[in-house]
Chain A
Amino acid sequence: MTKVKLNGEEVNIEMTKDEFEKVKELLDRDPTITELGGFDVMWSEHCSYKSSRPKLKLFEDAEANYDYVLAGPGEDAGVIDIGDGYALAFRIESHNHPSAIEPYHGAATGIGGIIRDVLCMGVRPIALLDPLRFGRLAGNSHSQWLFKYVVKGIADYGNCTGIPTIGGEVEFDDSFENNCIVNVACIGLGTIEDFKHAPSRAYNPGDYIILMGGSTGKDGIHGVTFASRTLTEMSEADRPAVQIGDPFTKKMIIEATLEAVKTGFVRGLKDLGGGGLTCATSELTGDGNTGANIDLRKVFTAEPGMTSYEIMLSESQERMAFIVKPEGLEVVLNVFRKYEMAFAVIGKTDDSKVLKVFDGEELVVSLPAKALSESPMFKRAEKRPEYLERLLAQKTPEPTIGFKDIIEKLIASENICSKEWVYRQYDHEVGVRSVVKCGDGDSGVLRIIGTDKFIAASVGVNSKHCYLDPYEGAKGGLVEICGNVIANGAKPMAMVNCCNFGNPEIPESFWYFSKAVEGMNDFCRTLRIPIVGGNVSFYNEDEVTKTAIKATPQIMIVGIINGFENIITLPFKESGNDILIVGETEAELGGSEYHSVIHGLEGGIPPKIDEEKIQARWNLLFELYQEKLIKANHDVNKGGFIISITEMCFKNKIGADMDLTGYNIKKLRDDELLFSETVGRFIIETSSKDYDRILGLAEKFNVTVKKIGSLTSKPEINIKGLKQDVKLNINKMKELYDSTIPNLMEI
């Protein structure tokens, strides 16, 4: 908080003194109260990315480098051309801080916001995915409370709007106890024409500006607080910081917006999120190189007597701004009338390049349209934390219990066990597109009705790996999430990310962000995956203990599958078939579930990524798909390959006879072999008659593929080739896998 003098009165602002001086210099005068409020919000970290932008420049040129990218970073959502005249839009965003205070509404309005972002690309939102982080559940009622209500908030909002939640991931770790992570992602589908009708800018003078949807209230106003008399009346209690969502109105907004876009009279579209009307009008005119005249008294408010400051900065949910061609005004308004949506024509665009806002007769804002988006940037210091050396040097103790007990503990552990308790609460089938449903694959697969084309989407990252090495960890996240869509048969098409980190003003915290961005950038450039959008959430740091969350650069990948017959699923299909592992296992137990669950350790050497090997494995898999040689596929991640194999046995109650004698190529310890979380490995089911053909192709692609077992009809896994033989009962494993979360959450 900074105290400054504004027109003779003392005012508290969030921005620094230097930034305030820059505002005055930009305007060549003192700003009005409303203008200052606008700058304060628009130049906040949340809106301006002032700490992250210098680093995020690395991502900038997706549109230039990939011919199928229609909209890249900086737009409300990334958009790609997926052929057949269709455009796919998607974005991921954080809603961490509101959810930590009020999990139900925080999560719900997160969903609301991400739906609007995708909707304002002119396409229909068709899927949601939500990666989450909480403190450990066992013995922690606060974490249970957050988890329960975040899930309920997502479910109630998503279910009501009729958008299926098709995927997500959850990790539980002490570092998230006071700073939970709630990231929300949305995918939208429309025609390329739909997308072209809805640019997020007002590029034509003389168009109408219409506000549609919910009324503007005092919720969500933050930023500037004033010591002056006029504003002390706005007490903190009157201004809840967390907005309240209304999924019913959102559903109406979706239908009314899509119908309005179809009229062809909409020339621009923008949702009202952070920064409210200030952000929407300044970005529409600023990006469109126009100006506008706006009358705030036209805005319909939730209560009388709201000041211009409040109206401009309100973050009330469920509002959209439309730029409409003059000749189509009535047609568009009639669409809003049909849906009984409130609306107001609040102004008109012009060619002045100045945003002028009137409160009746009084001019309260008069700014160059681009000024609000020209925030200063900060070059933040970064420093590798000293504690890492100690953590990386941690050695794995010899296990004191048998492998059977270890595997049972792992399968029942919070981070590995079934998340069915979560996805049963999400309507994951509405829309009749869900072909591979929650629990049946590494990613969610949606059909595009009327075509033989399918969208696969997955989201996640391993926070424990990123904590030990954010550069390799972010790359590892990409390997895993791309691996998820590949395991279902999809080619990864594009990536969006959501960077959740600590306080950027602390060099150690900023280092994590910086390295993770470099990791994502390097990997995506090498593997030719366009980064089409992102979001940054800083300050996920505990005020009391001064510790940050484990770095969590969430990665979302969308992929495309051509042809229903090319969709691959996770469960093992038929006894007698071979179990093959694709890729070597390295001694990489750092940040593994084995370390944390069995030994209580967080350190060790985390997985390292070799892009060339990863690319070769992916190429091999697509060749094997092409020749129809793969019956089931599951990527290997938390807990190691033995966990992957166990999960694949569950659905069809199939067993496995395994012999690892020939696979321990690197002469690892038995626990390293079983539980290492080396990324980029896959377990595939194949027919034994195809074995020679597959090995031949593996050699051609220079990929290690080993047969490690065969499927049996008896529901048990027998492992030979280790110092001790291991026998696991599938039914018991399934019970352990299924019961952990219900046991913790249903008291």
Chain B
Amino acid sequence: MLVVHGAWVDGRLGVWAEDTARGAVPASRAALRPHPFAAPATTLAEALRGSGTDGPGSTGAPAGPVAGAEERELTIRLPGSAGGPLPSPESGLASRARSPRILTWRVPALLLPPAGALHLLGALTGPDTDVGVGVNAETGRGCSWPNADDEAYGNTGGPEWGPGLSLRYLSVVAEHARSLVRRGRVLPGLVVEKGVPAARWRPVLTGADRAALRAVAAAMPPVCRAVPEERPSKEVLTEALNGLVDGVVRLSLPGRLIAGRWPGLGAPLPDRWLYALTGEDAALPAGRPAEVAALGDALDGWSASAHQLDGPVRACFQLIEPVRDGGPWRVEFGLAPTPGHPSLTSVPGQASPAPGADRSPPAPAAGCPSASVVADYLPAGRIRAGQRAPWLPERPMEILRTDLARAVRLHPGLHSALRDPEPTGLSVETAWAFSFLRNGAPALRAAGYGVLLPAWTGRQGLGLKLTTRAVTGGEDLGLDDRVNVRLDVVVGDHTITPAELAGLAGLGIPLIQVQGRWVELDDRQLKAALAVVERHGGGDRTVGEVIREVVEGGDEELPLITVDADGLLGDLLSGEADRRLTPVRVPRDLRGTLRPYQERGLSWLSFLSGLGLGGVLADDMGLGKTVSTLSLLLSERESGRPGPTLLVCPMSLVGNWQKEAARFAPSLRVHVHHGGTRKRDDELASAVRGADLVVTTYGTVLRDLGALAALEWERVVCDEAQAIKNSATLQSRAVRSIPARTRLALTGTPVENHLSDLWSIMEFCNPGLLGSAVRFRRRHQEPIEFRRDEGATAALRRATGPFVLRRLKTDRSIISDLPEKLEMKVWCTLTPEQAELYESVVNDMLHRIDGFHGIERRGNVMATMTRLKQICNHPAHLLKDGSRLAGRSGKLARLEELAAEIVEEGDKALIFTQYTEFGSLLQPYLAALLDRPVLWLHGGLSKSRREELVERFQRDEEPMLFLLSLKAAGTGLNLTAAGHVIHVDRWWNPAVEDQATDRAFRIGQTKNVQVRKFICLDTLEERIDEMIEGKKSLAERVVGTGEDWIAGLSTERLRELLRLGPLAVS
């Protein structure tokens, strides 16, 4: 497999690759040595040519990223020794040099022009990319490495490849380039390239963008700046960003900027320059020097003026309410330090905001704006009176006036202030104030000015209040039952009568005072309010209609801001239904105990299901979503014979569901519909009719959609429902298209990246209830994600609250329900490749074992045990061939999911393995997959290095994952920062495992610790686990010494212990 690395070389993306199949062979002794395991450029081109993705940003790119690429040999500085360079961690190759030094190597490379570079880098964007990148059909997660189903990375006929972290780093740079271009933070310029003038688009980096790119430069992997020698990261980043920004604009603007004939060499330079800003050829040969100088000066001055807005001090505008009734509004000017400016980075509390974030100072807290909440804000009046601050420049009033003159371009109403040579503010009419609120303030804020508005701005407006009252006692509730409904127009908690409303309309001004509070009120809102009052009034409505009305949240101009409902409907709409509903009895057939919060969850699930409504059970991982779901199935079978439930889950969880159902709900009839031998046609229909729970996978649903959709289902459940977070994917559409009376989504992360994830999951649960994706984006997603709009957030909470139950393990009430240490077994299945290897090793051993005796027999049995455990971990662990990891191991798939969920929750985990070689494979793989550092502590590290890792894990926010060798780290260490412990493989010695677990679960631990032990179903792992669990005393007697006792078993017992059962393979 190829591990592809990237650097920016001569205005192009230079890619080169390590070929893991070539391995770390000895290097030549030549003075400038070829990299001994770098892939030939032709092989690399062949691999990348196969990745003809339609990744983000690839719009308009020619077919494949290597179109127009140049083959070139690069010199690169890499750490290593005379024996060869150190391999990258992603390669999985063993490192040889003990004291590496920096040496120069030659590598074959491809130089991709910007279009190809953007195409390639766009396909690598983020772990959340769903388009074109390796998205695992079973998990829905993006993969950074190829797996069996990937077309993005090399399973299209060419050699397999995966991106090194350097290439992924450059993909982040490309994301910034795209973001800058989308926001218009670019300007065209005239540059000189190899002595020839050229038209190029350049980024304008100010404020938050400047700070973000500074962080990007600081984090650059050294390998990115090692061609042809050690270079400054800032210089490399500038070149890369310039090239990518220019490329993005050219791809975004394929047409000409002006109509008419193509200007020849004799045409005026500005004419030729404009044409050269689009298309592929940016060069402007034969330009007359005077013309080049004049155009260059004009454009440079333009660019400089854009950067002048980015000084250490910025102008601020503060809108102040009238102090007396009928008095004027006032806009006060002032100065404040620019947040995140490099000259101010030492000032406490002035953290750099995220790129694209609102750079304005926080809004004042109370009704009257107060400058005190903005650090160091100084009104112009006080500056003019002589007040000074350490950050204030000389001649501050000149700076203010210059900034004000620029601001006039965005809000012309400010122009009159310029009549004053030292302006401090303006007294304005109410209509002016409204115009400033609606138009001026957002534009000024977006341009980087400080804007202070009254606290009520954007929050306080006309809205609707929905009141419902149950017609009957309300013991039972159905969607078709009727309730009394009343709609009122309100401001805050004040109800406005129709007469008052008519009076307000008569005033004809857009800012009014209601009960002493200012309210923004434009014509559209007034008309909507009048229409609503006329249209609705009171009356009866069905429960279903009321729910829909609440979810819709009123009109855009007139949002629903308050709901007052009684009875069961009130319980549901309160968003606290689990606490308010009458508890459902714990089912008799449940083999286990539900914790109090699980009982409340069962009541909520039963209530929604009874109404025929879908829900999202979004409890934190480890809180028991599986047992809650099984309890629901048992509970409804106590009062009737409902149809079967279809449960769709990632392949890695099929075994777990089987095992958990057998453990907690043995009375449920479970059928697994998965794998090559699954039932079809009539046999499938018959099996489903005879089942309570049918477990299948997302992949199988896609393949068997017709057959599954034709059957009758009581319920469809999606486990790890983030797999359907992208509503447009085939698997999302497939599960949505299966008819069922009700639906349930299980996920610990209902919103992984964007709010659209939640829309997609809700669309599965309650189709159509949240409205179209477009409406959801406009109504909720954009206001919340872009502006952090509190009103939109409250509206979304109100709309989804009844259907989403989410409890965090950090909730006070949950903590008290949970044990301090929660131990769980995680049941994993083998992939067909693992199963084949497993059977082969078992058969080989059993075939030969009778011929061995004594030490020889013992040695053979133990060696077989080790091999089988390695296979259960991963085929590459046994084969040691440097082959790819993704998609070949059930355990690894489960580990990927768990690690991603833990990181998503912001928690930390210890991951134990007894095999150093497996840890060495996992560490770079997980780091690349999750885009996060992963620590790896093993016996090969010095004491000081181990202490350093432990301290880093305990002290820093990252890394969140710590891989540890069971032998090297099983005792002595204090790792209480972790809330999760995962034993990927088993030592079969409870004492040893407990000691390792106690690295996290010990004095100083303040969280509940979740401990997971991975076990491969129907393999030796499960059987040994059963023996330990079932015969504790025997286990204590024989297992105390580890695994040696197994070697003493008879051949027949061995056969039984090691055999591969039918449940083992996924």
A binds B: no
Residues of B with Cβ closer than 8 Å to A? none
Residues of A with Cβ closer than 8 Å to B? none
